[in-house]
């Protein structure tokens, strides 16, 4: 359900608990078009050292706020 990036994705993410996702899965969610999903994925990885190639999906996301998250704002 989260992978489908639909309206229910953020609810599914809350039910599943972001800590149940691998780092690779969370980075993949940086390209989601559902801001709560992007935000939750980033919150789980925020304290870890993210590589530039991992942040790239945020910087190219169609959501302005996701790009702002990628820029560290």
Mean pLDDT for 18-35 is 88
Task: Using alpha carbons, select from 64, 13, 15 the residue that is nearest to residue 43.
Answer: 13
CA distance 65 to 19: 22
Q: In the chain, what percentage of residues exceed pLDDT 90?
A: 58
Q: Residue 23: is its pLDDT beyond 90?
A: yes
pTM of the model: 0.80
Distances (CA, A) of 41 to 12, 47, 57: 12, 12, 12
Mean pLDDT for 5-33 is 77
Q: Residue 43: is its pLDDT beyond 80?
A: yes
Mean pLDDT for 63-72 is 95
């Amino acid at each position: 359900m989260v992978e489908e990036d639909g309206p229910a994705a953020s609810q599914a993410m809350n039910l599943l608990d972001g800590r149940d996702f691998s780092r690779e899965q969370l980075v993949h969610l940086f390209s989601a078009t559902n801001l709560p999903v992007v935000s939750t994925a980033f919150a789980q990885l925020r304290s870890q050292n993210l590589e530039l190639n991992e942040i790239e999906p945020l910087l190219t996301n169609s959501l302005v706020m996701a790009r702002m998250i990628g820029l560290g704002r």
